[in-house]
């Protein structure tokens, strides 16, 4: 299996350290390819995302590293782009940037009509609780269903190369605090996503970031969802969502066992020949 990761953040958004530290770590760890996917700007103040003014600097930084490390490491320029339900247009423009090698479409930010602000569904447990209580009257089913509606809408609106952390909504559900993934309504909400995945054909990432940071016990998406995806031959890739250079390859091997376990034989990688399905092993 090739050692690669295409979901990487550094200090231009909410990651730690400089971009080049990730390149050095990737070389030390024997990577063949490294993709940067900093959080693209959103049309409001959000500490997780880079500022609009920083975008040209970001593109230039990664392009410079690309040429600097040519022949040593394949470096790819991506962006993790938020779907913003209320303001889809600026995000659509980002995804169309000609400099990008690929994009990761993710949903994090939900508008609170009460608070008149955006809050991240993967923020602290306290904020998750506040969204649930203030915006959904404590109804977790409505909250979760809204998340998956917006995720389907993301595919329709942005049509990203990669769908980011499919079931991020489970991050703040430790020990089934709010819902069980075996509940029929939850499974239905997940299954309702499948036609959108078939239609817009993103590569679904298996994201180890939650496990690596001790926030979840499973990868995104959960193995039962991966099993559903495998039944439909939906392409997947393994990403670590690294925010520090040392976690660039965190839980990658475990993720490869999980995907093999549900029957996948190949994962997708961006290479100098384009997107290629690489056999696992």
Binding site for Zn ion (CB under 5 A): 80, 106, 241
User: Checking DSSP bridges between strand 33-39 and strand 74-82, what pairing results, if any?
Assistant: parallel
For residue 3, the number of C-alpha atoms closer than 13 Å in the C-beta half-sphere is: 14
- Closest of 146, 104, 136 to residue 239, by C-alpha: 104
The CB density around residue 10, as the number of other CB atoms within 10 Å, is 24
User: Checking DSSP bridges between strand 33-39 and strand 4-5, what pairing results, if any?
Assistant: parallel
Residue 38 or 281 having the CB closest to Zn ion: 38
* Residues ≥6 apart with Cβ < 8 Å to 69: 23, 27, 75
CB-based burial of residue 103 (10 Å sphere; 0-12 exposed, 13-18 middle, 19+ buried)?
A: buried
């Amino acid at each position: 299996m090739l050692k690669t990761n295409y979901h990487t953040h550094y200090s231009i958004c909410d990651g730690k350290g400089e971009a080049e530290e990730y390149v050095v770590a990737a070389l030390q760890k024997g990577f063949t390819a490294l993709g940067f996917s900093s959080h693209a700007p959103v049309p409001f103040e959000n500490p997780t995302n880079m500022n609009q003014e920083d975008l040209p600097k970001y593109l230039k930084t990664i392009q410079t590293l690309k040429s600097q490390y040519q022949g040593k490491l394949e470096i790819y320029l991506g962006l993790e782009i938020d779907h913003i339900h209320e303001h889809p247009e600026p995000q659509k423009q980002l995804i169309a940037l000609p400099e990008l090698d690929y994009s990761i479409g993710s949903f994090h930010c939900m508008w609170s009509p009460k608070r008149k602000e955006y809050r991240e569904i993967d923020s602290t447990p306290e904020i998750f609780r506040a969204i649930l209580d203030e915006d959904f009257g404590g109804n977790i089913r409505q909250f979760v269903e809204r998340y998956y509606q917006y995720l389907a809408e993301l595919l329709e609106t942005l049509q990203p190369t990669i769908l980011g952390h499919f079931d991020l909504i489970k991050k703040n559900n430790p020990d089934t605090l709010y819902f069980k993934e075996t509940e029929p309504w939850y499974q239905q909400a997940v299954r309702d996503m499948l036609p959108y995945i078939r239609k817009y054909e993103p590569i679904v990432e298996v994201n180890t970031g939650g496990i690596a940071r001790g926030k979840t016990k499973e990868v995104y998406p959960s193995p039962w969802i991966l099993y559903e995806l495998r039944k439909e031959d939906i392409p997947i890739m393994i990403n670590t969502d690294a925010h520090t250079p040392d976690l660039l390859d965190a839980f990658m091997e475990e993720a490869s066992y999980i995907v093999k376990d549900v029957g996948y034989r190949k994962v997708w990688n961006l290479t100098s020949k384009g997107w290629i399905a690489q056999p696992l092993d």
